[in-house]
Chains A and B, each alone.
Chain A
Amino acid sequence: MIKSVLVINTQGKPRLTKFYDILAVEKQQELLRSVFGVLCSRADNVSNFVEAESIFGPDSRLVYKHYATLYFVIVFDSSENELAMLDLIQVFVETLDKFFRNVSELDMVFNYSKLHNILDGIIFGGQVMETSSAEIIRAVEEISKLEAASNSISLVPKTVSGWRSR
């Protein structure tokens, strides 16, 4: 099972934190700090795996990937496969990139709820649910459409497709 998905920028600021186990806010912050501490000390040309048991307790593994200004991190247990988790990060990033067109850190900050929609499309309750980015985007766009349709007060002035074509 996947225990958590974290996106942290290179300054150590969290951009997305999702814990599938229940953890107190303080504990989450502590974990974030420990993870960042480990990640920023790693060289570029090493493996994407990090020993995680000292941070997350027994039976936990950590896989991360560094994109531009962001670290994407997945923490999981022995029922998952490290290489596959690495690809899951890839799925997430690819999807974000397709969705936001050249995703940047700011897209993630300003589209917090969409970010969560996308992540929830990939991982649900700590299990991998979908790995096709096309499928995920389709589902998220459908959500946006339905939200827009039901939205009498027009929360989102432009549809997703509208601003995507900017």
Chain B
Amino acid sequence: MEQLKTIGRELAMGSQGGFGQSKEFLDLVKSIGEARSKAEEDRIVLREIESLKRRIVEPGIPKRKMKEYIIRLVYVEMLGHDASFGYIHAVKMTHDDNLVLKRTGYLAVTLFLNEDHDLIILIVNTIQKDLKSDNYLIVCAALNAVCKLINEETIPAVLPQVVELLGHSKEAVRKKAIMALHRFYHKSPSSISHLLSNFRKKLCDSDPGVMGATLCPLFDLITNDANSYKDLVVSFVSILKQVAEHRLPKAYDYHQLPAPFIQIRLLKILALLGSGDKQASEHMYTVVGDIFRKCDSSSNIGNAVLYECICCVSSIHPNPKLLEAAADVIARFLKSDSHNLKYMGIDALGRLIKLSPEIAEQHQLAVIDCLEDPDDTLKRKTFELLNHWFIQTMNKVFEHAGDLVNIKVAHNLMRLIAEGFGEDDDTADSQLRSSAVESYLHIIGEPKLPSVFLQVICWVLGEYGTADGKFSASYITGKLCDVAESYSSDETVKGYAVTALMKIYAFEIAAGRKLDILPECQSLIEELSASHSTDLQQRAYELQAVIGLDVRAIGSIMPSDASCEDIEVDKSLSFLNGYVEKSLEKGAQPYIPENERFGMVNISNFRNQDQLEVTSHGLRFEAYELPKPSVQSRTPPISVASSTELVPVPEPSYYRETPQTAPVPSSSDTGPSGLKLRLDGVQKKWGRPTYSSSSASTSNSSSLKVVNGVTQVDGVSSGNSKTHETSYDSRRPQVAKASSHASERFHTSKSTTIYSADNAVEKPNLVQPPPDLLDLGEPIVATSAPSVDPFRQLEGLLDSTQDPGTFGGTKAPDFMALYAETPAGGRSAGVALPLSLNRDGDNLIPGLSNASSNTVHGGTTVTNPSQISKGPNVKEALEKDALVRQMGVTPSGQNPNLFKDLFG
């Protein structure tokens, strides 16, 4: 060991007392140095502690010995062992009159104690006395202790003395007094708010060192409130000019550079003051330009000043000449062989491209080189820059193209952020997320952001807002509430925002932190739980439910950062076996497989010209819906679940909320559709204890996703049973969460009837997961029909991505609801929410409720666009209901003709 070579020399010195320490201490250090293991070292140190414990309390220890003991205590504690038994002796030592002992005591207490330690109270008096000492060394030692040990409560006890010391004759004391006030400002800004003018005054101190020290607190003050210090711009500029022109005494030079640390501090201050202030900036151009020219770029510290100039130039109002000079320096940094300079160059480049994007191009190759550098730090920094670039570019796309941006682009962006670059580099991925979060938080306050962009923002903030710990949950949730408030007419965005809130809260709970729900979030949740949009309602209720869960439950339903996790699906729904058996025991009717069922009708393969297919589980279309004769004729058995059919959607607009585009008018002659419409609204009143299926179906169809259906099933399986689950491979953000929704929903459906259980058994068919479709939680809704490969058919639906969060289901759906939900085929995301509007039983028709209870079985998958015109339909609906009853149609039947009418 290298240090042992010299140990002989040191031992010789030690024995002479050359270091003022005893041979014991030397032996201790030596034996620790020679320790072969951590355990051996610990044994030695513990022995030392025992011996110190014993000896430090012996009476009549000579002061010199006592000093050594204290130093040994400090040493022992530095090695990580508990020396607290000796703290009191260190405190006592500060009371000593001897300068050496006092200073040793102060050194030890500043290392041992923190500002809240019980022993502080024994020191405050001493500090007060020592601050008034004639000996400046004692004053300095006391000021040192003040910085470390004085807390908010004790500030007033020493404040007057510290302020007085600002006028001390020794510049070292004045400097330290300023630093102490600066610390007070850190600890409690209000404690010295009346003393801030002192900092301005001290800027004119005769000693440049004191002036330099004053820049530290001023930098903090200006960071917090630049406007109050605009008057100082001229002074700062003139100081910087003098410093740069070598007007300070030679003693302030460092490596031939005049007071570089003061220059750096001043440049930082100017950057703050000139930011967004053209007038102030103009004062600075000359001096910054001079420094660019004169600064020695061969020394490290010279480059530090140059780098600071670049930061300043990119912060203040832009000046072409200075930008050019900055670009030159960056070029030199990037071309340098020094990794440090490359690093600074990349950082500086990131600052400058905001102002002059064209310089990015010149340095492309250099940047790529940095990506391949063996230095992790540099690579990381470069990734940061590129991520930033990427996010900025995407932001521009959204800002300029607005709602013209295809929703798919947004979903791809979310996917990229969630999945990363596909490399194994987690840091790069988390960086991308961090820079996205940071950038979005920055941009989120801007007015009139396009809806698609806001969806991305909300999703990213919900998923990753608090992931890197930079931003608090309350900050992020506050921002999300602001979004929901400012875009209150955009329900999609609101839906995203609420789901994001739920994620943030879930992560908080999972991390074991106490939930701090802002009042505005609270009121938003309350408002939404009474929203006209059932989707929003659903989300609000889910959020409230999630908040009430404990850590374990949250961990399983909302795993952190699990948006890319694969979801496993138990297609056979085997987890329901027990339930089914129990129901059968209680006398429920057994499930009849489709092919054995009577009166089953298949409607298959209706195709829409525009290739948009909505697969719906064609199980239950209630006959009663159809006022037409054809309908009446058929009264298939109640539970008829036909094989799933693909129900083609006549046109994309079918699911769109806009009433005028709705292909099916609500008028009575278009009967079927109108009827269905009303059915959707009716749900809540149905005879079943729980939610009606139709509501569920609507809600689903509102969310319209394959993902949705799939994840629900999964949720069921994961939530309710541990049965085998088949996994399908797809990497979608959100699916996990989707499952949580589903599972929650599932849980709520306690009142499921046997019936519905039966239905649920059929479910597997519906739930074929289409792996390749599921990217990024793209919300494609499709139900699989057993006979038809749904996925192939669904491919056309890929566009219709949807917020993973959107698929909120109804609050208390039963199995049927689940069942019914899955079939719904959906179109684009935007469509989803509007549809859900229909659900809020506005046009509930009490009379219908009986019939509709049957409808449940039918699992009406057809969401009715005409629902939008819900208001006016009530009367009509009543009439139809009457008609249907008159005709004696059993609503549970399914009627192909219905679809013919609808889609033909």
Which residues of A does B touch, CB under 8 Å? 1, 9, 13-14, 16-18, 20, 22-26, 28-29, 32, 42-43, 45-51, 53, 57-58, 68-69, 79, 81-84, 86-87, 90-91, 104-106, 109-113, 116, 120, 124-132, 134-135, 139, 143, 146-147, 150-153, 155-158, 163, 166
Contacts and interface: CB of A to CB of B under 8 A. Distances in A.
Given A113-B71, A146-B137, A104 B3 contact: yes
Contact of B135 (A29, A68, A146): A146
A116 B107 contact: yes
Contact of B304 (A22, A87, A104): A87
Given A83-B340, A87-B304, A125 B98 contact: no
B254 A125 contact: no
Interface in B285-329: 300-301, 303-304, 307-308
A158 B98 contact: no
Contact of B20 (A20, A106, A156): A156
Given A83-B304, A84-B264, A147-B137, 13 more contacts: A16-B78, A17-B78, A22-B114, A51-B427, A81-B307, A105-B3, A120-B144, A124-B147, A127-B182, A143-B103, A147-B100, A155-B64, A158-B17
A66 to B, nearest CB: 13
B378 A46 contact: yes
Contacts of B19: 110-111
Interface string B232-258: 000000000000000000011111000
A83 B301 contact: yes
B344 interface: yes
Contacts of B220: 79
A76 to B, nearest CB: 12
Contact of A87 (B7, B99, B300): B300
Interface stretch (B171-179, B505-513, B735-743): B171-179
Nearest to A82: B344
17 contacts: A16-B78, A20-B148, A23-B114, A46-B339, A47-B339, A47-B375, A69-B2, A82-B340, A82-B343, A87-B254, A87-B301, A124-B179, A126-B183, A129-B175, A134-B251, A153-B62, A157-B18
B83 to A, nearest CB: 9
B587 to A, nearest CB: 61
B308 A81 contact: yes
Nearest to A91: B254
Interface in B359-381: 374-378, 380
Contacts of A153: 62-64, 98
Contact of A83 (B79, B253, B344): B344
A47 B381 CA distance: 12
B470 interface: yes
A25 B77 contact: yes
Given A47-B339, A47-B375, A110-B21, A68 B260 contact: no
B375 A69 contact: no
10 tightest A-B contacts by CB?
Answer: A83-B304, A47-B339, A46-B375, A125-B147, A150-B99, A29-B80, A22-B114, A125-B179, A84-B304, A110-B19
B309 to A, nearest CB: 11
Contact of A47 (B78, B79, B182, B343): B343
B251 A86 contact: no
Contacts of B591: none
A149 to B, nearest CB: 8
Contacts of A20: 148
Contacts of B469: 57-58
Interface of B: 2-3, 6-7, 10, 13-14, 16-21, 25-26, 29, 32-33, 62-64, 67, 71, 74-75, 77-80, 82, 98-100, 103-104, 107, 111, 114-115, 135, 137, 144, 147-148, 172, 175-176, 179-180, 182-183, 186, 209, 213, 216, 219-220, 223, 251-255, 260-261, 264, 268, 300-301, 303-304, 307-308, 338-340, 342-344, 374-378, 380, 427, 468-470
Given A84-B261, A113-B107, A155 B67 contact: yes
Contacts, number: 197
Contacts of B339: 45-48
A150 B375 CA distance: 52
A119 to B, nearest CB: 11
Contact of B216 (A42, A83, A127, A131): A127
Contact of A79 (B3, B147, B219, B344): B219
Contacts of A79: 219-220, 223, 268
A14 B78 contact: yes
Nearest to B303: A83
A151 B67 CA distance: 12
A162 B64 CA distance: 19
Contacts of A47: 338-340, 342-343, 375, 377-378
B18 to A, nearest CB: 5
A19 to B, nearest CB: 9
A106 B7 contact: yes
Given A47-B377, A153-B62, A110 B260 contact: no
A83 to B, nearest CB: 3
Contacts of A48: 339-340
A124 B32 CA distance: 31
A143 B138 CA distance: 10
B10 A110 contact: yes
Contacts of B99: 146-147, 150-151
The residue among B25, B172, B186 with the most chain A CB atoms within 10 A of its own CB is B172
Contacts of B213: 127, 129
Contacts of B268: 79, 81
A69 B343 CA distance: 26
Contacts of A45: 339
A133 B219 CA distance: 25
A151 to B, nearest CB: 5
B251 A155 contact: no
Contacts of B468: 53, 58
Contacts of A28: 80
Contacts of A82: 304, 340, 343-344
Contact of B14 (A46, A110, A120, A127): A110
A81 B79 contact: no
B420 to A, nearest CB: 17
Nearest to A134: B251
Given A150-B98, A155-B67, A132 B254 contact: yes
Given A87-B254, A110-B29, A147-B100, A125 B182 contact: yes
Contacts of B376: 42, 46, 51
Nearest to A149: B99
B41 to A, nearest CB: 8
Contacts of B223: 79
A81 B340 CA distance: 12
Nearest to B136: A146
Contacts of A24: 114
A152 to B, nearest CB: 7
B8 to A, nearest CB: 11
Nearest to B2: A69
Nearest to B259: A131
Given A151-B100, A155-B100, A81 B20 contact: no
Contact of B10 (A57, A106, A139): A106
A152 B624 CA distance: 109
A62 B618 CA distance: 63
A75 to B, nearest CB: 14
B345 to A, nearest CB: 11
Contacts of B380: 51
Nearest to B263: A84
A71 to B, nearest CB: 14
A52 B627 CA distance: 71
B3 A84 contact: no
A9 to B, nearest CB: 8
A20 to B, nearest CB: 8
Given A29-B80, A46-B374, A81 B264 contact: yes
A17 B115 CA distance: 18
A127 B100 CA distance: 25
A132 to B, nearest CB: 6
